[in-house]
Structure 1
Amino acid sequence: MDADWPEAMKMTSVVLKLSVRDLVHADLASCGWSGSAHHLAGVATQLERVRLGEVDYLAVCTPTDVPVAKAGIDYRVKEGVGTLWQLAVHPALQSCGIGTFLVEAAELRMRNRGLRHAELGVEESNPRARALYERLGYVAYDRRPDAWDERAPDGSLRRYETMCTLMCKELP
């Protein structure tokens, strides 16, 4: 903190009431912080799978019902396991506990479906996310390359390639 700030400002904190609900198509217009238009088109496609019961897609919202975090849970990747993917928290609100709130809500959703295991992949270039998952009880068990297409500012598609650490957790 800046030494010139009044003492009251150095100790100020804000409490934000959050809720979790299903992400819906209408939310995508306010989720630009989570990725490119190409990414959001992919999310829209995944939302179609919600109707089939193949996935859940969660949104953490402020009291004004605007999403500030999102995550998908895919139930088709591995039998009896909920696979978390596309987790994102608004950059201005990272490190405020919202990621923990989101993961715990996703785990509750999985337990309510009778699942006892959760898995996810975290990019090895994202140590902050891995530290969060480890604090929440996830354990690394393997590595796997991953890739997807991203739309560049000039409109062309680029292939993004990365290495992910696979992590799992037994749900109580």
Structure 2
Amino acid sequence: MTNVVLRLSARDLVHADLASCGWAGTDHHLAGVAEQLERARAGEVDYLAVCPATDIPVAKGGVDYRVKDGVGTLWQLAVHPALQSCGIGTFLVEAAELRIRKRGLRRAELAVEENNPRARALYERLGYVAYDRRTESWDEQAPDGSLRPYETICTLMRKELA
């Protein structure tokens, strides 16, 4: 077996990246990400891209500073499906936590769908602790392009940052 080592960097996601992020979701989802990039310009959120030397995103995710006072809320975290379980999600979460600390905040929170045990296991391994549950909902794009309501139960998790 041959091991391949990728050198990763985290930077701000920009509009030009969206064309190469089809792996992250539907056109509807990417249109929502584009809206979040406008909030990033206003300083309300950080939206990160994790890239190898090609500078093409292989992971993305946001930190919202407006959800709860004094907290950075991680959301819309995604790693290219072909590259999952390679440490890229860990790199993404750690980069997001660094952004939170640079703002002088000491707590990170996130919501993980209860039907996503792999993601929850990652967050627990990184020190996140469950503290509540809630129903979340949003519109999801169907294969025919129409939007349909999607509802799920999420576990709320938090971590105190050093």
* TM-score where L is the length of structure 2: 0.99
Tell me what 2:38 maps to. Answer: 48
C-alpha distance in structure 2 between counterparts of 1:152 and 1:162, whole Å = 16
- How far residue 121 of structure 1 moved from its aligned partner, in angstroms, is 0.1
Tell me what 1:124 maps to. Answer: 114
Deviations 1:63-99 (A, max 9, x none): 0100000010000000000000000000000000000
C-alpha distance in structure 1 between counterparts of 2:126 and 2:141, whole Å = 33
C-alpha distance in structure 1 between counterparts of 2:61 and 2:141, whole Å = 21
- How far residue 151 of structure 1 moved from its aligned partner, in angstroms, is 1.6
Tell me what 2:87 maps to. Answer: 97
Structure 1 residues 105-116: aligned runs within 5 Å: 105-116=95-106
Larger displacement relative to structure 2 (152-161 or 83-92): 152-161
Matched, 1:149 2:149: no
C-alpha distance in structure 2 between counterparts of 1:151 and 1:170, whole Å = 35
Tell me what 1:60 maps to. Answer: 50
Aligned residue type for 1:106? A
Tell me what 1:167 maps to. Answer: 157
Tell me what 2:69 maps to. Answer: 79
Percent sequence identity over aligned pairs? 83
- How far residue 126 of structure 1 moved from its aligned partner, in angstroms, is 0.3
Tell me what 1:70 maps to. Answer: 60
Aligned residue type for 2:11? R
- How far residue 156 of structure 1 moved from its aligned partner, in angstroms, is 1.3
Aligned residue type for 2:111? G
C-alpha distance in structure 2 between counterparts of 1:114 and 1:29, whole Å = 33
* TM-score where L is the length of structure 1: 0.93
Aligned residue type for 1:39? H
Which structure has the greater CA radius of gyration? 1
Unpaired segments ≥5 residues, structure 2: none
Aligned residue type for 1:56? D
Q: Secondary structure at the match of 2:99?
A: helix
C-alpha distance in structure 2 between counterparts of 1:27 and 1:74, whole Å = 20
- How far residue 155 of structure 1 moved from its aligned partner, in angstroms, is 2.0
The alignment covers a number of residue pairs equal to 162
CA RMSD of the aligned region, Å? 0.5
Residue of structure 2 aligned with 1:134, choices 111, 120, 124: 124
C-alpha distance in structure 2 between counterparts of 1:12 and 1:155, whole Å = 41
C-alpha distance in structure 2 between counterparts of 1:153 and 1:117, whole Å = 38
